Amino acid sequence: MERRELAPADAGVPMMLRVRVLDAVDRPLPGAVLEISHRLPKPSGPLARGAQVTDPHGYAEFKTVFPGWDTNHPAGIDVMLHLAGSRENGRLHFSAQVTEQVAALAEYQDNPAPLPPPEEPAGITHTVPRDRYDLTAGLLATVNALTDR
């Protein structure tokens, strides 16, 4: 089931996530299924989940909100790639700077202090605000997801 919109914009800071799936030699992988899930801003809330089939250029886009976090996990998005009968799992992370800015906003105040991303994360998203003066206007997060397929 394809689902592009994972969370209502008023659930947190709106975010467009754009993932490009590439093979081991950086060629786009069209037709792969990319599933994602992440916490919503409220610690006790449900998970946001969605799936997209990558386009001819290997892209999948999701309309969601900046994820929440807990005491054991930094803000991040779990990803699962389905391709030619195989499945690979991973996690996308956000820079400590972006997470700290988001943590100061009202929607995220119930979360514990954010943890920094891992020292050598598999995927740090490139995240920029849509309006450089207003973080609540939304974020654009992009990342390349590489597979050895």
pLDDT tens digits for range 27-85: 999 999 999 999 999 877 789 999 999 999 999 999 999 999 988 889 999 999 998 88
pLDDT for 81-126, tens place per residue?
Answer: 998 888 999 999 998 899 999 999 999 998 888 888 877 656 778 8
Report the run of H or E that residue 102 belongs to, with start and end: helix 96-103
Q: How many Cβ atoms from other residues are within 10 Å of residue 73's Cβ? A: 15
Which tokens sit at 98? 């972006």
Topology at the third CATH level for domain 9-146: Protocatechuate 3,4-Dioxygenase, subunit A (2.60.130)
Please report the pLDDT score of residue 85 as a whole number.
Answer: 87
Ranges of each domain in the chain? 9-146
> Do 103 and 62 form a contact (C-beta atoms < 8 A)?
no
Query: CA-CA distance, 119 to 111, in Å (whole number)?
Result: 22
Query: CA-CA distance, 115 to 97, in Å (whole number)?
Result: 11
